Amino acid sequence: MEQALPGRCVFCLAPMPGKHPWCETCFTELPWNLPACPVCAEPQPGAETGRRCGHCLRRPPQFDRARVPLRYEAEMAGLVQRFKFDASPRAGRVLLELLVAGLSPADRRWPEALVPVPLHPRRARERGFDQARWLATRLGRYLGCPSVLAQRTRDTRTQRGLDRGERRSNLRGAFRISAGLPRRVVLVDDVMTTGATLDALAVACRQAGVEEVQAWAVARTPADRH
């Protein structure tokens, strides 16, 4: 993706008359995640709106529902990669605005705290950047609610190349939360692939006494790209 210039659309570089970092045409043509499973937000092309996917019918996740407005493909993939691996603040701001744009007013009022998906300290040192914490901190300022940090207790092997069951096993018991949590929390990440990481973090939240958990991410990876 091209580097955006000030006052120009981050996607096509056209002049921007509005307050957002995109033009209306590019915003409309983004890969919006509709329809999607209302529980885990897995894309469901051709399915009825509001229909649960087969995975959630067989084994519901520990979070109650997910809010993931876009699919991880096309322009979104490039934007996420610039944010995650190049630590681009410009890309991060665009992703944050897109996440907020995909939330309803009721969604925005719902959380009492945000819990970003934590990196293991070794990986955080190596990368020098924690993308989920970056998003959660700024989202919390916008929503007016605090962020609570979880700990990653094990440096799990990469999730790449693992199927859904292997991802769950890899992350079992990988998170701990020692700080007190309110009744309703939102888990925050940049990309949701199978949902295994957010599911494992939701387990830690439930063990810490949380009653209701939602998972929010900017983009969801389609099932055929896991």
Question: Model confidence over 80-137: pLDDT tens digits?
Answer: 999 988 989 999 999 999 999 999 999 999 999 999 999 876 776 777 789 999 999 9
202 with 188: CB under 8 angstroms?
no
Q: What is the pLDDT of residues 30-50, one digit of tens each?
A: 999 999 999 999 999 877 778
Neighbours of 48 (CB within 10 A): 7
Q: What is the pLDDT of residue 187?
A: 98
**Choice between 51 and 32, residue whose per-residue pLDDT is larger:** 32
**Angle between helix 75-86 and helix 89-101 axes, rounded to 10 deg:** 130
Choice between 161 and 219, residue whose per-residue pLDDT is larger: 219
Contacts of 72 (CB under 8 A, 6+ apart): 80, 191, 193, 219, 220, 221, 222, 225
Predicted TM-score (pTM) of the model is 0.89
Mean pLDDT rounded to a whole number for the chain: 88
Domains located in the chain, CATH noted: 1-30 (no CATH), 31-225 (3.40.50.2020)
